[in-house]
Amino acid sequence: MNRIRCANGNDAEGILAIYAPIVRDTAISFEVEPPTLAEMRKRIESTVIQFPWLVCESNRGIEGYAYASRHRERSAYQWSADVSVYVAADSRRKGLGRGLYAPLLGVLVDLGYYSALAGIGLPNPGSVALHESMGFRPIGVYRNIGYKMGAWRDVGWWQCPLREYGDKPEAPRTMTEYVGSSEMRKRLES
């Protein structure tokens, strides 16, 4: 039985087991060396203060994870978040990506975000299909933006509106304010 829950620093090893081969063996991630266990723990712990980071856990351990992060530093971007999802190689094509993204996007709505954005290293038809099935639409391509594995790589950008865009939006809440709320429990149980 799979369970979706908020990640914490103790999940770093399971998350790194999924992410390290993607860094090492593909051009999907633009990192060229996998982060250390300490660095992954630090990433998780610093992210979950402001943004959601979810894991899908079964009796086999962590099978996938999804998280949001700041889109850009300037204040006017505060209502937009970048999102990513990664699933273990032997757990792909079982709906885990959708199963992680649905609550992640819901949490972003609850926190007060208006747009989710995803950068996808191209080509990556599986990721494109997943994002488009979740309501993301293509908005542009950074051509030859990164060099990895002996070639220049493109990154496509997809955007998903999370709510109606209104005048005078309130600043998004932090995860610290949201964790443990009834809203959060409903999101993770659905």
Domains in the chain (CATH in brackets) are 3-172 (3.40.630.30)
pLDDT of residue 189: 82
CA atoms of 186 and 190, how far apart (whole Å): 6
CA atoms of 175 and 110, how far apart (whole Å): 10
Is residue 63 scored above 90 in pLDDT? Answer: yes
- What percent of the chain clears pLDDT 70, i.e. is strictly above it? 100
Average pLDDT over residues 34-39: 98
Average pLDDT over residues 89-118: 95
Strand pairing category for 137-148 and 151-161: antiparallel
Rg value, the chain, Cα = 16
CA atoms of 128 and 56, how far apart (whole Å): 21
Name, in order, each residue with C-beta under 8 angstroms of 25's C-beta and a sequence gap of 6 or more.
Answer: none
Is residue 84 scored above 90 in pLDDT? Answer: yes
pLDDT of residue 160: 98
pLDDT of residue 60: 92
Is residue 188 scored above 90 in pLDDT? Answer: no
Average pLDDT over residues 72-95: 94
Bond into 103 cis (ω within 30): no
pTM for the full model? 0.95
Is residue 1 scored above 80 in pLDDT? Answer: no
